[in-house]
Structure 1
């Protein structure tokens, strides 16, 4: 099979980051929808801790990016593509130290910046970032530092945003050109939503606790006269784009999240001045974060499921091109193995469920390690995807039943997680990995079985909607 697919040219995601004091239970949370292509399976794997005798080398199948890697690779989880012919795209996961990473939020740089620091054809891109960063860091801050050093040394082939977190801190990293980058810590009492634009605004170069950056970025901007308002240093305005496509494609998703979490305002969905950092009008829960990533402008005239004149005006957050959606939650006052939960929704997030997997797992269910093109009934990706495909043709008739089953599965998964949390506290260190692995697999099986049952109902009820149907007198 010859693949005619370029992930980088199609990738278009939505992200959310929540500080620990902004959450209802003290968790840090980062989440993202990986959006690229309507049918493109994902897997979920755990790479074991390995210590090699020789230095390792990474070579990208996508663009030839090459770099040396340390001989010690920490255990980490990831969601790679079903094929590595166009690159790995491992996208998101935890490592053994409880560091979470999600890469990337695709963005765009303006031509003035790229004219003086172009993107590097064989530099690091989304395809490689998780693989060459996550297994080699012990904190979120170290993750930012390592990625920044790689971008400076090798250059980058794309403009991207990258999410990092640990039990205490949440960071958002952005590169704005071939070699220049900044990162901002999300304040503990705040959140941020991002949608395919450079998002970071004012940089405080005298606040190393909350900002990191390429050291000569101010000199670079000044030397090439890139800052139209030199009294401030607004990274988004200096490096980003601000055109009509941003107003239609990107900012409405940010607007919707901020309207949901910070209260209704008179701001336009197309505003180019929306804040990066926001405070919510309440403490945010895992349901809030997953609900945002599963949303499509519900309650507004922009919902594609409405019949209003504006129902297709803006690109929704959850859409058919979502391959997987994830929320990496790190809860307080627990061992890292138990504290970290990788909530993974295969396929379209609004039509799937987020299955919780403990950070301390040593393996994933077989169904999550398989699935190619075309459809494979044994694959987790295709199990969740199939239910959505069956729903799409008859949303008005089947939507209520679908949502009720989805809600029931979500409630069951949350109860199971709570029960497993309690049981895990009594396990010895040598018992814990197997217990968490078995618990996670049991929760995954519950979700898969629930969706197979849902699919059976959808098929059964759909049979009555055939265009060849005819109301026949039962006596004939």
Structure 2
């Protein structure tokens, strides 16, 4: 039993609507339901306009309502770098009037998420995959954990850090470390993050057919060996992926330290003729954000002529 109120619509149903809206061209007419302005229900389920892959679903998990009426990257709350995040709580009051933040599919509070891929025509230990990732779904890497998996990788094992103890070998902590840098300069850093994310996940998807063909041949000879092979395979991906994510964090720290942007050339940070770091860019903020500052502060920061 879940009575429909504003919170149920805006904080829960809107997420479902956004999923549907990405893959069905008729869902736009239900946006008022997602906004909590109407209780006329949207369909309980829909047929996508096209066949969806596991990777399509992964990308949908990363949604922040971009390109819809609920897109919140361009109001004052988004800050100077168009953040699709707001810190909790979900609601707040101004002059005794209650307002809300959005609760998109991808949020900073996510501990883990997964996409289930089920293929009945394959042996159970091979046919089922949980594409599993830790932290914010928009900034995670989805790793293929097969149904026959028998050993938790060290990077995700209990005891390797916890909520009060940071660990440089913990997938949770490395991803949170990177995410919390990206949040501070989202429009810039998210582009760098997505390059690494896409590269890793494309590698996993590309390798999948050949790996599974090898496993199926092994499965006919020895099921335990096939399961062991897949377990070691996935754990190696996690190990390598977390190492790459740590390198990403180091890269972001160097590139954006103290609000500047280091210049790059051919995939390397640029140096001057003396071998020193090239003078960085100082892009400041967008014209739109500067205008908001002036509108709010008037002449407080206006450069005034000095009369002698």
Higher-strand-fraction structure = 1
Q: 2:5 aligns with which of 243, 261, 264?
A: 243
* SS of match in other structure, 1:393: helix
Q: 1:275 aligns with which of 43, 50, 54?
A: 43
Q: TM-score scaled by structure 1?
A: 0.46
Q: 1:338 aligns with which of 115, 126, 138?
A: 126
User: After superposition, where does 1:293-312 map in structure 2 within 5 Å?
Assistant: 293-307=61-75
Question: Paired residue for 1:324?
Answer: 112
Contact 2:155 2:238 in 1 (8 A): no
Structure with greater Cα Rg: 2
Q: What is the CA distance between 1:452 and its match in structure 2? A: 1.4
Question: Paired residue for 1:409?
Answer: 200
- Residue 357 and residue 333 in structure 1: after superposition, are their counterparts in 2 closer, same or farther (change >3 A)? same
Q: 2:16 aligns with which of 230, 244, 254?
A: 254
Question: Paired residue for 1:378?
Answer: 169
Question: Paired residue for 2:244?
Answer: 450
Distance across 2 between alignment mates of 1:306 and 1:403: 20
Runs of 5+ unmatched residues, structure 1: 1-238, 467-473
Q: What is the CA distance between 1:300 and its match in structure 2? A: 2.0
Q: What is the CA distance between 1:436 and its match in structure 2? A: 1.0
User: After superposition, where does 1:24-39 map in structure 2 within 5 Å?
Assistant: none
Contact 1:253 1:317 in 2 (8 A): yes
Question: Paired residue for 2:95?
Answer: none
User: After superposition, where does 1:201-212 map in structure 2 within 5 Å?
Assistant: none
Distance across 2 between alignment mates of 1:323 and 1:377: 17
Distance across 1 between alignment mates of 2:224 and 2:199: 34
Distance across 2 between alignment mates of 1:430 and 1:250: 42
Contact 1:345 1:354 in 2 (8 A): yes
- Residue 243 and residue 322 in structure 1: after superposition, are their counterparts in 2 closer, same or farther (change >3 A)? same
User: After superposition, where does 1:226-237 map in structure 2 within 5 Å?
Assistant: none
Q: What is the CA distance between 1:418 and its match in structure 2? A: 2.6
Q: Does 1:285 align with 2:56?
A: no
Q: What is the CA distance between 1:309 and its match in structure 2? A: 8.2
- Residue 406 and residue 244 in structure 1: after superposition, are their counterparts in 2 closer, same or farther (change >3 A)? same
Q: Does 1:266 align with 2:57?
A: no
Question: Paired residue for 1:315?
Answer: 103
Higher relative CO (CA 8 A, sep ≥ 6), structure 1 or 2?
1
Contact 1:383 1:448 in 2 (8 A): yes
Q: Does 1:354 align with 2:142?
A: yes
- Residue 430 and residue 376 in structure 1: after superposition, are their counterparts in 2 closer, same or farther (change >3 A)? closer
User: After superposition, where does 1:460-471 map in structure 2 within 5 Å?
Assistant: 460-465=254-259
Q: What is the CA distance between 1:308 and its match in structure 2? A: 7.2
Distance across 2 between alignment mates of 1:454 and 1:301: 33
Question: Paired residue for 1:431?
Answer: 225
* SS of match in other structure, 2:4: coil
Question: Paired residue for 2:97?
Answer: none
For these two proteins, the number of residue pairs brought into alignment is 230
Distance across 2 between alignment mates of 1:459 and 1:306: 25
- Residue 331 and residue 308 in structure 1: after superposition, are their counterparts in 2 closer, same or farther (change >3 A)? farther
Distance across 1 between alignment mates of 2:254 and 2:69: 32
Q: What is the CA distance between 1:362 and its match in structure 2? A: 1.2
Higher-helix-fraction structure = 2
